[in-house]
């Protein structure tokens, strides 16, 4: 109970009464926060505003760098109050809640700055950058039990599924903060209730800005925002290894044992086709062979499926698979009869790159007489 026993005045006012109303110099403009807790709901969640130098007129002049100036910015001017020559501008209405100082209801907008009651009216209480302004509904007169503003602290950031501690304190007009037991912390799953030490454990279920509501009977509610991130495994997914540069080079096959322009007797004609293929980063898919023969009678090509030469129009011929390793050895199914032969070996890698024909390397022309 913060009422003054003989007069029924709140301690805030008594504390303020101890001092004469000083004429204060204007503070430096800067960022301050404003929060307005109404009788049943938060009328202005904590809002950061940047004050500017100068003054404006409400019912009377109000310093723009004062608590009244910050309230003006935070609410977009949605407040009002009477003006007295003695004490200046009062705050009687904020948004939808109106508590005239002259009554009849024994309630008023109490003004606290940085966890302490202001000893000056809103438009006289100059702010420094970083100051925290709180307006809440207080009472006066017989039977008034002033609510204690709650202060909640916790980590700036947390992780989904990882419990963290919220510490709740009750603030006194003297500035003293004591652990607030029995305060409900809600917003993340089932509400948690603070123990005797004023702490509660909260486990965030989802990533994002988590705003926790903190309330307790006969206390001024507050809120706490914690930035919740995904668990490390998901949030900081191991940087995927940079995709390797796409493979655009083909493997190269080289025929061995038979050289371009070779002439063989029938007896010495090749029986085996051998080739070596360069290793390929994508891996070899297939090594194919094509052997065509031209004679005075016409043309033919070696059919891999039939394992014999098949007549065909000159210039025609089909490849057939002879392996997929870097070392190829293919036993010709028949002895080579006289003619002019064109032997092609090509390799294709798994990226689809196909070895181009190069005379003397993977294409040789030879004669069998
Ligand atoms: C009683 C009182 C209150 C009561 C008034 C309601 C009631 N029906 O009793 C309540 C508890 C509501 C109150 C609140 C505040 N008060 Co007062 N209050 C007084 C006190 C002790 C007596 C006023 C009085 O009854 N005078 C006799 C009657 C017949 O004259 P009146 O002109 O009609 O009185 C009215 C005004 O004083 C007005 N009033 C009361 N306080 C304030 C404060 C400001 C800034 C303004 C503009 C008007 C105002 O309410 C009275 C009733 O309608 C004076 C101290 C004093 N010696 O004057 C401090 C006093 C006026 N209050 C003061 C303060 C700081 C406040 C608060 C800002 C405290 C706070 N931190 O929240 C709040 C006002 C917030 C707001 N919403 O604007 C200071 C003002 C200092 C200044 N120069 O700016 C004073 C001078 C105390 C002091 N010496 O520090 N107060």
Token pair recorded at residue 348? 């294709």
CA of 119 to the centre of ligand 1 (A): 10
Pocket test residue of 6, 87, 106 for ligand 1, highest count of atoms within 8 A of CB: 87
Q: How confident is the model at residue 5 (pLDDT cuts 50, 70, 90)?
A: very low
Q: Classify the C-alpha dihedral 228-231-235-236 as positive or negative.
A: positive
Token pair recorded at residue 332? 């010709």
Token pair recorded at residue 167? 């510490």
Tell me the C-alpha distance between 36 and 49, whole Å.
14
Indicate if ligand 1 lies below 6 Å from the C-beta of 7. no
What are the residues whose beta carbons fall under 8 Å from the beta carbon of 242, sequence distance 6 or more?
none
81-118 pLDDT, tens digit per residue, is: 999 999 999 999 999 999 999 989 999 999 999 999 99
112-161 pLDDT, tens digit per residue, is: 999 999 999 999 999 999 999 999 999 999 999 999 999 999 998 999 99
Work out the percent of the chain whose per-residue pLDDT is above 70: 90
Which atom of ligand 1 is found nearest the CA of 21? 83
Tell whether the model's pLDDT for residue 19 goes beyond 90. no
Indicate if ligand 1 lies below 6 Å from the C-beta of 68. no
Mean pLDDT of the chain: 89
What is the β-pairing status of strands 93-94 and 97-98?
antiparallel
Tell whether the model's pLDDT for residue 192 goes beyond 80. yes
Instruction: Give me the pLDDT at residue 185, please.
Output: 96
167-187 pLDDT, tens digit per residue, is: 999 999 998 999 999 999 999
123 or 243, which is more confident: 123
**70-93: burial string, b at 16+ Cβ within 10 Å, e else:** bbbbbbeeebebebeeeebbbbbe
Tell whether the model's pLDDT for residue 32 goes beyond 70. yes
**2-29: burial string, b at 16+ Cβ within 10 Å, e else:** bbeeeeebbbbbebbeeeeeeeeeebeb
Tell whether the model's pLDDT for residue 6 goes beyond 90. no
Which atom of ligand 1 is found nearest the CA of 84? 47
Instruction: Give me the pLDDT at residue 33, please.
Output: 96
CA of 270 to the centre of ligand 1 (A): 116
Q: Which protein residue's CA is at the shortest distance from atom 16 of ligand 1? A: 13
288-341 pLDDT, tens digit per residue, is: 999 999 999 999 999 999 999 999 999 899 999 998 888 989 989 989 999 999
Which atom of ligand 1 is found nearest the CA of 117? 71
Instruction: Give me the pLDDT at residue 15, please.
Output: 46
What are the residues whose beta carbons fall under 8 Å from the beta carbon of 106, sequence distance 6 or more?
139, 140, 141, 144
Indicate if ligand 1 lies below 6 Å from the C-beta of 9. yes
Indicate if ligand 1 lies below 6 Å from the C-beta of 105. no
Tell whether the model's pLDDT for residue 2 goes beyond 70. no
Residue 163 near residue 203 (C-beta atoms within 8 A): yes
Pocket test residue of 3, 13, 110, 111 for ligand 1, highest count of atoms within 8 A of CB: 13
Tell me the C-alpha distance between 65 and 50, whole Å.
9
pTM of the shown model = 0.68
Tell me the C-alpha distance between 237 and 327, whole Å.
42
DSSP 226-287: EEEE--HHHHTPPPPPPPPPP--PPP-EEEES--TT-EE-TTTS-SEEEEEE---TT-EEEE
Q: How confident is the model at residue 24 (pLDDT cuts 50, 70, 90)?
A: low
What are the residues whose beta carbons fall under 8 Å from the beta carbon of 136, sequence distance 6 or more?
36, 37, 109, 110, 112, 147, 149, 220
Indicate if ligand 1 lies below 6 Å from the C-beta of 108. yes
271 or 238, which is more confident: 271
Residue 12 phi/psi, 5° resolution? Answer: -55, -45
If you compute the radius of gyration of the chain from its CA atoms, what whole number of angstroms results?
45
What are the residues whose beta carbons fall under 8 Å from the beta carbon of 264, sequence distance 6 or more?
270, 336, 366, 367, 368, 369
Tell whether the model's pLDDT for residue 262 goes beyond 70. yes
Tell whether the model's pLDDT for residue 276 goes beyond 80. yes
Tell me the C-alpha distance between 271 and 332, whole Å.
5
Tell whether the model's pLDDT for residue 233 goes beyond 70. no
């Amino acid at each position: 109970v913060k009422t003054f026993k003989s007069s029924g005045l709140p301690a805030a006012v008594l504390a303020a009464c101890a001092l004469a109303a000083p004429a204060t110099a204007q503070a430096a403009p800067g960022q301050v926060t404003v929060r307005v807790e109404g009788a049943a709901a938060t009328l202005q969640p904590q809002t950061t505003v940047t004050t500017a130098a100068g003054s404006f007129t409400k019912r009377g002049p109000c310093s723009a760098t004062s608590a009244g100036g910050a309230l003006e910015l935070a609410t977009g001017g949605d407040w009002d109050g009477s003006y007295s020559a003695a004490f200046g501008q009062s705050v009687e209405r904020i948004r939808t809640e109106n508590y005239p100082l002259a009554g009849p209801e024994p309630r008023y907008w109490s003004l606290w700055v940085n966890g302490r009651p202001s000893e000056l009216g809103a438009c006289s209480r100059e702010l420094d950058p970083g100051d925290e302004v709180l307006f809440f509904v207080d009472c006066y007169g017989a039977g008034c039990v002033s609510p204690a503003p709650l202060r909640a602290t916790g980590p700036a950031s947390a992780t989904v599924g990882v419990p963290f501690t919220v510490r709740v304190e009750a603030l006194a007009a003297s500035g003293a903060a004591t652990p607030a037991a029995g305060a409900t912390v809600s917003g993340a799953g089932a509400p948690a209730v603070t123990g005797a030490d004023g702490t509660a454990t909260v486990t965030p279920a989802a990533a994002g800005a988590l705003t926790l509501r903190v309330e307790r009977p006969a206390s001024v509610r507050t809120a706490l925002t914690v930035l919740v991130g995904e668990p490390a495994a998901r949030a900081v997914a191991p940087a995927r290894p940079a995709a390797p540069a796409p493979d655009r080079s083909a493997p190269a096959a080289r025929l061995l044992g038979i050289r371009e322009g070779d002439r063989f007797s029938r007896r010495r004609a090749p029986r085996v086709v051998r080739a070596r293929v360069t290793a390929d980063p994508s891996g070899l898919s297939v090594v194919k062979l094509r052997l065509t023969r031209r004679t005075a009678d016409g043309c033919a090509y070696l059919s891999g499926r039939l394992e014999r030469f098949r007549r065909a129009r000159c210039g025609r011929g089909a490849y057939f698979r002879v392996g997929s390793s870097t070392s190829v050895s293919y036993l010709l199914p028949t002895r080579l009869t006289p003619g002019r032969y064109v032997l092609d070996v090509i390799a294709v890698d798994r990226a689809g790159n196909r070895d181009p024909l190069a005379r003397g390397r993977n294409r040789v022309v030879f004669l069998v007489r």
